[in-house]
Structure 1
């Protein structure tokens, strides 16, 4: 039996209008911006009534703890320093010789008094004449070695030796050590840890995204952000914990930063041999509080959460993938795929509906004057794409090389736009799949992976360091009638459009053509003249099923009361809030684990049956007279 038709949710929040694509276009062309604009329309079980609850009223209502490759949930639990084994045992310090001892011992070593006196004069001259002294050629290699070694602890280490045309040249160096020597020694000896070249630590952050946190660390430490690496980026509005690796950074130094950092703490220090790469994780553990819940009965809540526990939810790409209504990321990506570089630049730079503050003023300044240098002065640094485009215009002195300006945007960010278009298509196709065939079982023509371990989601990690989109062909099987008993709906995948994927051999295959042709694109022709925008495509599971699902309701009175326990709370001995039995408000506390490419907001959407856009929940907060904090 197929799933019932999707329940349409009426959005009562005033938002910008958007044009929908495909079959929905005939239904309504001026619907407010929301999930339907990016293909998010269906539910696994639409028969369960929806209810309202505010997502992320406080950023502490959204806790995210990384699950590492060993399946361990990452928590900040201590600030102790690790023990290490030195690669080489420390050498005993040899005491410096006095000037008198230096001259006397050198005289004995050379077997003459004249050269040591010249060297003494060099030492006392401090780079005045003579600038160097030669020790004449010595045939005995062992003796030459002894002479070089001698100067390392003589003459206050301000004289250095080097071979020169068979002789030994003695020079004066003001700081006591050859600068070239010092640079070499620093590279060799500063890191002396047998356990590996990397310090691994837990980054616990509040209300800032991972890149912002890492940039803050590198700025405080006056080091390049490239020394830090991590398995995945965590969103800004929440409290998150994840592993980070740092190349040749001592844990003592990182620990010392905790007193200076705001909204961040570092701990659980250790050493490892390899750095983290994007994708080196199993997923994330979410602990989420939904506030000001309005529902007819506890039974509805229990049924809704039980649905995602037992059946899962539709594995849509969440709204954060698509940005804001003013210039959704997928529309910028579509322009790039069409080679409409000027339009892509305009979508990134020009004014947007609904924006205010510094960014709105900066866009207005650009639209009025088209002066990249002046615009750069007012655009906030956090507007990465905008500032890189404007910098390209300012440096080149002309504003017509739109592709060149786009290429100045950091690669992961510019590829995010075209990936967003793929995600937009995928969302629409999964909704079409449910409308045609339901969400409870595979059908003939569906796709499953030939080898489950080969699944590669469309993530930033799919972009190789040499700048090419990785193809990594994944084999899939097209289901026949005989295959159906061997597979479940959780095996079914749908392709993200590209030149190296197979499309379903049922009605959904044709739906890709119908949707993308309206945008002037062909799902089977995704190669481009600009190589980096040639998309091989990949596959994504149709359904997502969370693990270790738990939930409870609690009442509270203070609208801004803390209702979650962070790692820092736990370290401080603060117990998890228990609520107030006779409180005026109801909250739902839900926890679950997801794979790395799955969106918690889409699980919440299946529970609530309401929009998950930030503007929708901001409006709910305002309606309840609870400004977001």
Structure 2
């Protein structure tokens, strides 16, 4: 079993310090010309999104290439138990305590005998007196016209679960419950519903015997993003992608390892997929009672190889790493938060928050320098002709926002209904735009906070998190926001403390947070709040007024630590000749018993391999920026 072979790739270094990878195999002359004509100033730059300062500017960096090969960037999830997730086996879990099939007569017998009056009072507490009286009439059969009772709409999933459980415990042999759009329909059992209920119970007992109805497994993938991998798995076994759940998405151009749960899919079925998977493997199967949800992780562990390092001596690297360990790095949102084209995602987000739907749609659709040739042709056709049907044919399917907008225009013929067209974009993408604007503001503000007050100690008016239990919440906040969670009043409230003079000795710079703009956050009680107002007023926005008529764009805000610091950090210098040689071991390599790569002393090339762990919300590329200190061209 070996890792997927990488294709040769040409590297173009951008101002952000990372190379863009262009496939040199089967590339047309036209695309060659397009690639060669890309100007650096056509691409979004770090300073365009507020990334300006360094935690320790006097410490010099060095030149090198990040992600020359996707195997140069390895990411292993850190679960909630603080374990680094690895693919270590392909064993099928054993059933330790098999159970017999339940006696049919036992199904529906109340768990606990209590008086009818107590049952009625419990029902009244759950459903109210009027609904409870109707259900009593249904049970008595006094009203021949009453065949079922609908509860009021209940949005709370836990409350709906409690209602179902109540009827199962006390009326399991008489009443059937089923939910639809938050309403629970209560009706008398029929022979069919009793049979269906027994069948469900028997299936539940089978999964209970295994250990739970969710099969948790480790997903190892190469050069694929998480959503792409999950969609592929769901197609193979012919189930909906929502059958699978995970704690967070992982990079595409990397080798990544993470946990996934599958609802009522046997381990044998998942293991059987391995023979048909390329660049992916599934293993470490176990059955659990609850699925993973977004944010169920402590962070990620990285093994990053920086190739073609140019440095005077090893001491420069050693000092840079010592500084990283002691002073940390400014916890910026990385460049990937803002897209890769000359029109950053936060520009669209700004238009949305200004309620300027036309501008938002035009920004998504307009031509942009450095775009792929087929994208350029499609965009240009739309701008020149406003022919939605033809432009839809020209756009590649992976241009999701563009094709959704055009599909709406083509179907309705309402080319001026920009709000309606934008609403057809998948919700996660819609949220991405406004979150990108929040991130741009946060980056810009933290740069000012560091410029004005430095990054060595808190100052009066800074904010810190009051509740230590909330630290994990803010560490995974951005990850959850990126993956379909709405900014809403339902989110757990995070309490902050405004520091006074007497508090300063009790906190370090690594405790300080800054808010992402929102209606429920507290802003620093110093000159930094004025900078929030000045910056957002330039965009005709107010940091204190972030409610909108469209719920998705009504931003409650959150908090983010201004400084990050790696843990479990180690490093090693390699000398090598072959640019295609792997300088780190993947989980598959370890399973195959491969040996650790060796440095070749007399070789011409130098590489730095650095291992470190970060919280879920921090970016490895931002850490590497502090380490290497790349310079941007004007």
Tell whether the structures are fold-level matches, with TM greater than 0.5.
yes
**Structure 2 counterpart SS, 1:607:** helix
Counterpart selection for 1:77 from 53, 75, 88: 88
The structural deviation recorded for 1:505 is: 1.5
Aligned to 1:63: 74
Q: Is the 8 A contact 2:479 2:616 kept in 1?
A: no
- 2:51 touches 2:447 (CA, 8 Å); kept in 1? yes
What's the offset of the Cα at 1:347? Answer: 1.4
Distance 1:580 1:606, change over 3 A: same
Q: Is 1:390–2:406 an aligned residue pair?
A: yes
SS at match of 1:564: coil
- Of the candidates 263, 266, 280, which is equivalent to residue 264 of structure 1? 280
Q: Quick one: distance in 2 between partners of 1:525 and 1:237?
A: 39
Listed as ranges, the gaps of 5+ residues in structure 1 are 1-8, 19-31, 93-167, 169-177, 617-629
2:149 matched residue in structure 1: none
1:212 matches 2:228: yes
Residue aligned with 1:548, SS: strand
Cα distance in 2 between the residues matched to 1:267 and 1:415: 33
Partner SS state of residue 207, structure 2: coil
Task: Go from structure 1 to structure 2 and tell me whether the alpha carbon gap of 1:598 and 1:466 turns closer, same or farther (over 3 Å shift).
Answer: closer
Matches within 5 A, 1:329-340: 329-340=345-356
Corresponding residue number in structure 2 for 1:380: 396
Cα displacement (A) at 1:274 = 0.4
**Deviations along 1:116-141, whole A, 9 cap, x unmatched?**
xxxxxxxxxxxxxxxxxxxxxxxxxx
Q: Counterpart of 1:254? A: 270
Q: In 1, distance between residues paired with 2:371 and 2:56? A: 36
Instruction: Report the counterpart of residue 476 of structure 1 in structure 2.
Output: 496
1:500 is aligned to 2:516 = no
Residue 189 to residue 445, structure 1, CA distance change in 2 (3 Å): closer
Range 391-400 or range 348-357, more displaced: 391-400
Greater shift in the superposed pair: 190-199 or 243-252 = 190-199
Structure 1 residues 273, 182: closer, same or farther in 2, change over 3 A? closer
Structure 2: distance between partners of 1:430 and 1:359: 35
Query: Deviation digits for residues 2-22 of structure 1, max 9, x if unmatched?
Result: xxxxxxx9989974537xxxx
1:165-314 superposed matches below 5 A = 185=199, 189=203, 192-194=206-208, 195-314=211-330
| Partners of 2:217 and 2:286 within 8 A in 1 | yes
Distance 1:377 1:208 in 2: 26
CA displacement 1:173-196 (0-9 Å, x = unmatched): xxxxx9x98999589549822211
Q: Matched residues in 2 for 1:463 and 1:292: separation?
A: 34
Q: 1:91 to 1:44 in 2, by over 3 A?
A: closer
Q: Residue 434 of structure 2 aligns with which residue? A: 418
1:202-259 Cα shifts (integer Å, max 9, x gaps):
0111111101110111111111001100000001010000000000011111111111
SS at 1:494's partner residue? strand
**Which one of the candidate residues 567, 579, 589 is aligned to 1:569?**
589
- Matched ranges for 1:464-613 at <5 A: 469-470=488-489, 471-610=491-630
Shift of 1:390: 2.5
Deviation of 1:561 (Å): 1.5
Matched residues in 1 for 2:16 and 2:247: separation?
38
Shift of 1:445: 1.1
Residues 593-602 or 379-388, more deviating:
379-388
Deviation at 1:50, TM superposition (A): 2.1
Q: Distance in 1 between matches of 2:197 and 2:495?
A: 51
2-structure distance, mates of 1:496, 1:596 = 17
Shift of 1:399: 2.3
* Greater alpha carbon shift after TM alignment, 78-87 vs 482-491: 78-87
Q: Which runs of 4+ in 1 moved over 6 A?
A: 9-14, 180-184, 463-466
Aligned to 2:371: 355
Structure 2 unaligned spans of 5+: 1-14, 20-37, 104-190
User: Could you say which residue in structure 1 is the equivalent of 2:23?
Assistant: none
Say if 2:343 is the partner of 1:327: yes
Relative distance call for 1:480 and 1:468 in structure 2 (3 A) is: closer
- The residue number in structure 2 matching 1:409 is 425
Q: Deviations over 1:135-168 (max 9, x none)?
A: xxxxxxxxxxxxxxxxxxxxxxxxxxxxxxxxx9
Scaled by the length of structure 2, what TM-score is found? 0.75
TM-superposed deviation, 1:386:
2.1
Larger radius of gyration: 1
Quote the residue 1:446 is aligned against: 462
2:480 matched to which residue of 1? Answer: 461
Number of aligned pairs?
508
The two structures, once aligned, show a CA RMSD in angstroms of: 2.8
Structure 1 residue 450 displacement after superposition: 1.6
**1:388 shift after superposition:** 2.3
SS in 2 for 1:193: helix
The alignment's TM-score, normalised by the length of structure 1, stands at 0.76
User: Is 2:100 the counterpart of 1:89?
Assistant: yes
Distance 1:376 1:528 in 2: 31
Q: d(CA) in 1 for partners of 2:486 and 2:450?
A: 36
**Which residue number in structure 2 is paired with residue 23 of structure 1?**
none
Partner residue in 2 for 1:159: none
Counterpart in the other structure of 2:113: none
Distance 1:265 1:11, change over 3 A: closer
Alignment match of 2:59 (pick from 41, 48, 64): 48
